[in-house]
Amino acid sequence: MSMHALLLLAMLVLANASAQAIEPAWHDFDVGVSDELDFGSERVALLLRATVNRRNCHVQLDTGASMSILWHSQRPAGAPPRPVRVTLRVGDVEREIEADAANLGPLQGQACAGVLATVGNAFFDHGTLTVDLGGDRFAFAAGSNLGKDPAAQPMRYLRSGTEGGHPLVDVVLDNGLRGQMLLDTGAARFGLAALNATQWEALSGGLPLKVNDRVRAFNATNAKDVESSACYEAVVAGHMTVAGKNLRQALVSYCQVRKFQLSEPLIGVLGLRPLAGRCVVIDYVGQRWLLSD
C-alpha cells in the first residue's frame, strides 16, 4: 500500500472516530401521568432527570416556554429576596443559574420533592435537542445537527424578548387549513390546541364551545397558573401533514387561559399526542426539525 493510501486510510479512521466521539449520549426521562381529567390515565408531562448543585431533581421540558427556567416555587409576596447561584445540569447541558432561595424549597436532602422547575427553549437553543417519545429518552448536541439531513424540515425559531424563543412548524390540515403552529412539548397530552375561540372554530370544523355529544369539558392547570382553566375538547376526524408525514388529527382542544400571542400569526399549537412513539429533533441553531419513526 502506498504512503498516500495509508495516509488517506488513517484520515478516514480518525474522522470516523471523531464522529463517534461527538455522538450525543442518550438520557432517560420520566413521564408525568395523571388520571385527574376523568379520561383515563394520560401522559401529561415529560420530566427530565436533572441535578441542582449535584442533588437529584426533575424538571419539566416545555418547548412552549421561551425562557431557560421557570422555578415552580416562588418567593412569597413581600418577602425579601435571597439571591443564590446554582449549578443546573440537565442531560449533557450544565449552566450556572441565578435563583432565589425560595426557588429551592423542594430541595430536601439529596433529592427534590416533586418537580423543581420547567426548562424552556433558551436552555437548549445553542444546539440540537432530540426527544425520543417512543423510548422515553433525550439527547443534546451543541450546534446544528440537521443542516445536511435531506429529511429535515424548515422550522422558524422565533426569538422573543431578551431570552429564548419559540419553535414554529408548518402544519397542513386536510380541510385546507394551513399555517404555523407552536411545537409544544409542554402540551404532552394534547393534539391540536387552539389559542382562541376563532382557532377552535377553524380546527374543530365549526363545533360550538359548549358540551354536547361531540364536545366535552374539563379543567386543567399548568405550572404558570394557580387557578384551573375551563377547557373544551373534541375528537375530530381527518389527517394533517406535519414534517412531511401524514398524521391523524384526532384531538382538538381549547383552554380559556390567559392570552398568549406571538409576533407571527399561528393557527394553533401542536402537542405531542399526534407525535406519540416518534423521535422529534429540534435544531435551534439551523432552524430545522425532523420527525422520524
How does residue 12 score in pLDDT terms, banded at 50, 70 and 90?
A: very low
Domains 27-127 and 145-292 belong to one CATH topology: yes
pLDDT, tens digit (0-9, with 9 covering 90-100), for 105-142: 888 778 788 899 999 999 999 999 999 999 999 999 99
How does residue 22 score in pLDDT terms, banded at 50, 70 and 90?
A: low
CATH of 145-292, one of 2.60.40.10, 1.10.3720.10, 2.60.120.10, 2.40.70.10: 2.40.70.10
State the pLDDT at residue 228: 63
The closest of 242, 163, 229 to 194, measured between CA atoms, is: 229
Q: Does domain 27-127 have CATH number 2.40.70?
A: yes
Gap between the Cα atoms of 253 and 193, Å rounded: 5
Give one DSSP letter per residue of 41-107, joined into a string.
SEEEEEEEEEEETTEEEEEEE-TT--SSEEESS-PPTTPPP-EEEEEEEETTEEEEEEEEGGGGTTE
First to last CA, the chain: 43
pLDDT, tens digit (0-9, with 9 covering 90-100), for 232-248: 999 988 899 999 999 98
Is the model's pLDDT at 87 over the cut of 60?
Answer: yes
Cell 463517534 identifies what position? 20
The closest of 222, 183, 251 to 44, measured between CA atoms, is: 222
Is the model's pLDDT at 35 over the cut of 60?
Answer: yes
Determine how β-strand 268-270 pairs with β-strand 192-194.
antiparallel
Q: Where are the domains of the chain?
A: 27-127, 145-292
Cell of 247: 398524521
Which of the pair, 203 or 256, is modelled with greater confidence?
203
State the pLDDT at residue 216: 93
Please state the φ and ψ torsions of residue 19, each to the nearest 5 degrees.
Answer: -65, -40
240-250: burial string, b at 16+ Cβ within 10 Å, e else: bebbeeebebb
State the pLDDT at residue 183: 98
